[in-house]
Amino acid sequence: MTENLVVVLTASNLEYDAVRRKLNDLQVHRHERGTRFEIGTLPGAKYRVALGLTGKGNQPAAGLTERAIQEFSPVAVLFVGVAGALWDTTALGDVVMATHVYAYHGGTSENDGLKARPRVWEIAHGISQIASHLARTGDWTGSVPSGIRVPTVHFGAIAAGEIVHNSRISHEAKWIREHYNDALAIEMEAAGVAQAGHLSGSPVAIVRGISDRADGTKTTSEDSTWQPLAAANAAAFAIRLAEELIKEREHIVMGENNSTKNGGVVNNFSSGQVGIQAAHVTGSTVWMGAAPQASTRAGLIAELALFRERLIRERSIGNLDEATYEAAHAELDIASEALDADTPEGKSRLFLALKRLRGLIADVADLAAKIVSLIAAAKGLL
């Protein structure tokens, strides 16, 4: 799919339903391997969300996140649901948005004990800025059920592992609070989602409603009260965040399109002689950067080949780590194969692959600038 949309994933049906109730005009989208998503529109807006259910645990969450990214090439992936609070400063029903995610089960067992060796993923700066703005303004609370305390949005670390925690005195509970004492909440999926986003070049956000304190007070009765409320609060914040993320992407794309149309062009109407230094001159038109490439299939094939060489060069000088290079190389292969197919379906796959590639190499300025022009050329073929 080539439109701007946000993927929202949940681990449980209760969390899924909390998000689903906030979407309109739902339609089933079937993945070729059997996964079912639902695509709906946001209230009062044209923007769309693809909603999916991963099941519990980091591994299922990682697999379904990767599948959703490949299927939709989304603006971002939001993982939404409930979590346990690690400290009393976070009230039941409040929302926690991850600034970074710990995979807390990483470690090494030595003679003097277990040493923590976590993996850590940090939230994208742009998402953090938008989420912080929403929390400050509070305009996301309009869909929070009336008659309850307005929840607070907290920003901090979230710890993700493979255990349901309901104790403060167990060995695991003490170890987590000792080694990850800045974490606000604990759950079982965020690490898998964050890793999938990292490998695919897709921004990820984790939004959790606090449904228990992970301290031994969690009961079936308490869950029946607090889980629906916590899930609804997390869904309310996530839906507003999704809307703002799509608006931001449209704003960026509009700027890129204007830059592609107007950037780097100087028209000289003077009759006097002028000395210039430029990359390309055609008649009286001066291109300060590279000359624009025609949006033809042959031209794009050549540009992809040149981009592949640039990719190899950036890796060789250390600007791309091996994992990012391999992921980017794979997307470039998909783009090349899609272009060779020369079919409507192939052109759509080409566009999606280039969008994913843009996310992977966004930190390398030269590559990022080039991929914008390639995406513009691919749009011309659609």
Looking at the structure, tell me whether residues 53 and 170 fall in a common domain.
Answer: yes
Looking at the structure, tell me whether residues 297 and 240 fall in a common domain.
Answer: no
The pLDDT confidence band at residue 322, using thresholds 50, 70 and 90, is: confident
> Residue 99 in contact with residue 105, Cβ under 8 Å?
no
From the list 65, 88, 87, the residue with the least C-alpha distance to 183 is 87
Looking at the structure, tell me whether residues 230 and 303 fall in a common domain.
Answer: no
Looking at the structure, tell me whether residues 305 and 161 fall in a common domain.
Answer: no
Pick the more confident residue, 112 or 283.
112
Paired residues of 119 in beta bridges: 103
Looking at the structure, tell me whether residues 14 and 130 fall in a common domain.
Answer: yes
Looking at the structure, tell me whether residues 243 and 299 fall in a common domain.
Answer: no
Return the structure tokens found at 63: 């697999």
* Region of poorest pLDDT, from 223-227, 241-245, 363-367: 363-367
Paired residues of 81 in beta bridges: 208
Q: How far is CA 347 from the centre of its chain?
A: 23
Domain total in the chain: 2
Looking at the structure, tell me whether residues 247 and 304 fall in a common domain.
Answer: no
* 268, part of any domain: no
Mean pLDDT value across residues 242-255: 84
Tell me what pLDDT residue 271 has.
45
Looking at the structure, tell me whether residues 211 and 281 fall in a common domain.
Answer: no
The pLDDT confidence band at residue 269, using thresholds 50, 70 and 90, is: very low
C-alpha distance from residue 251 to each of 141, 258, 373 (Å): 25, 11, 17
CATH number at residue 162: 3.40.50.1580
* HSE toward the beta carbon, residue 305, CA cutoff 13 A: 7
* 265, part of any domain: no
Looking at the structure, tell me whether residues 98 and 242 fall in a common domain.
Answer: yes
Looking at the structure, tell me whether residues 30 and 145 fall in a common domain.
Answer: yes
* 124, part of any domain: yes
Each residue's pLDDT tens digit, 58-78: 999 999 999 999 999 999 999
Q: What is the DSSP letter of 229?
A: H
Return the structure tokens found at 360: 């992977």
* 264, part of any domain: no
Structural domain boundaries, residue 135: 5-252
* 290, part of any domain: yes
The CA angle 303-304-307, to the nearest 5 degrees, is 90
